[in-house]
A and B are shown apart, each in its own frame.
Chain A
Amino acid sequence: MTEEIIIAIPNKGRLKEPVVKLLEGAGIKRVSDERVYLSDTSDACIKVLSVRASDIPVYVYNGIADIGITGRDIIAETNLDLYELADLGFGSCTMVVAVKKEKPYSTASDIRPGSKVATEFPNITKRFFNDLGIQVEVIALRGAMEIAPRLGLAEAIVDLKSTGTTLEKNGLKQIGEVMKSSARLICNKVSYKTKYGAVEDLIRRLKEANV
Chain B
Amino acid sequence: MRSWGYKKWKEGIYFTRFQTPRGFRDLVPNDARKYAFVEGRLRDIYAKWGYREVRTSMMDYYDVIRGGTGDWFADSLFKFQDSDGKLMSLRGEVTTQIARMLATNLKERRLFYISNCLKYIEDKALIGRESWQAGAELIGGDAVASDAESIALLVGALDALDLKGARVDVGSVQVFRILMSRFGIKDYERITRSVISKSADDLKNATDDKDAIDAFSYVMRKRGGPEVLDGLSEIAGGCMEEQRDYFRTLFRLLEAYGCADRVCVDLGTIREMKYYNGIVFEGYLSGFGMPVGGGGRYDCMMREFGLDGMTATGFALSVDLCVKALEARGFEFGERKVPLKVAYNQGKMGEAIRLAVSMRADGKNCTVDAARCESDMEVYGDSSGLPLEKGV
Interface residues of A (CB under 8 A from B): 61-64, 80-87, 184, 187-196
Q: Is the CB of B169 within 8 A of A63?
A: no
Q: Is the CB of B202 within 8 A of A84?
A: yes
Known A-B contacts A62-B289, A188-B289; the reply to A193 vs B198 at CB < 8 A is no
Which residues does chain A contribute within 8 Å of B198, judged by CB atoms?
83-85, 187, 192
Is B200 in the interface zone, CB < 8 Å from A? yes
Q: Is the CB of B223 within 8 A of A189?
A: no
A159 to chain B, nearest CB (A): 23
- Top-10 shortest CB links A-B: A63-B289, A87-B201, A194-B286, A84-B199, A83-B198, A84-B197, A190-B284, A62-B289, A188-B289, A190-B289
> Contact mask B152-176 → A, CB, 8 Å, 1/0?
0000000000000001010000000
8 A Cβ contacts from B228-266 to A: 264, 266
Q: Is the CB of A63 within 8 A of B201?
A: no
Q: Is the CB of A189 within 8 A of B290?
A: yes
Q: Is the CB of A190 within 8 A of B197?
A: no
Is B287 in the interface zone, CB < 8 Å from A? yes
Interface residues of B (CB under 8 A from A): 124, 126, 167, 169, 196-202, 223, 264, 266, 284-291
Q: Is the CB of B169 within 8 A of A193?
A: yes
Q: Is the CB of B285 within 8 A of A190?
A: yes
Which residues does chain B contribute within 8 Å of A87, judged by CB atoms?
199, 201
Measured CA separation A194–B163 after assembly (Å)? 14
Q: Which of B200, B201, B264 contacts A193 (CB 8 A)?
A: B264
Q: Which of A81, A193, A195 contacts B167 (CB 8 A)?
A: A193
Which residues does chain B contribute within 8 Å of A191, judged by CB atoms?
289
Q: Is the CB of B284 within 8 A of A194?
A: yes
Which residues does chain B contribute within 8 Å of A64, judged by CB atoms?
289
The interface centre, meaning the residue of A82, A85, A190, A194 with most chain B CB atoms within 10 A of its CB, is A190
Q: Is the CB of B197 within 8 A of A63?
A: no
In the complex, residue of chain B having the shortest beta-carbon distance to the beta carbon of A190: B284
In the complex, residue of chain B having the shortest beta-carbon distance to the beta carbon of A182: B201
Which residues does chain B contribute within 8 Å of A62, judged by CB atoms?
126, 289-290
- 26 A-B pairs with CB atoms under 8 Å apart are A61-B124, A62-B290, A63-B289, A80-B124, A81-B124, A81-B196, A82-B197, A83-B198, A84-B197, A84-B198, A84-B202, A86-B201, A184-B199, A189-B291, A190-B285, A190-B288, A190-B289, A193-B167, A193-B169, A193-B264, A193-B266, A194-B167, A194-B284, A194-B285, A194-B287, A195-B286
In the complex, residue of chain A having the shortest beta-carbon distance to the beta carbon of B169: A193
Measured CA separation A84–B198 after assembly (Å)? 6
Which residues does chain B contribute within 8 Å of A184, judged by CB atoms?
199
Which residues does chain B contribute within 8 Å of A85, judged by CB atoms?
198-200
Measured CA separation A192–B196 after assembly (Å)? 13
Measured CA separation A188–B288 after assembly (Å)? 10
In the complex, residue of chain B having the shortest beta-carbon distance to the beta carbon of A188: B289
Q: Is the CB of B223 within 8 A of A196?
A: yes
A18 to chain B, nearest CB (A): 17
Q: Which of B200, B223, B290 contacts A63 (CB 8 A)?
A: B290
Which residues does chain B contribute within 8 Å of A83, judged by CB atoms?
197-199
Measured CA separation A85–B195 after assembly (Å)? 10
Measured CA separation A87–B162 after assembly (Å)? 39
Measured CA separation A196–B288 after assembly (Å)? 15
A84-B199, A189-B290, A191-B289 given; name 13 further pairs at CB < 8 Å: A62-B126, A63-B287, A63-B290, A81-B124, A84-B198, A84-B201, A84-B202, A87-B201, A189-B291, A190-B286, A190-B288, A194-B285, A196-B223
Q: Which of B124, B200, B291 contacts A86 (CB 8 A)?
A: B200
Known A-B contacts A84-B199, A86-B201; the reply to A190 vs B290 at CB < 8 A is yes
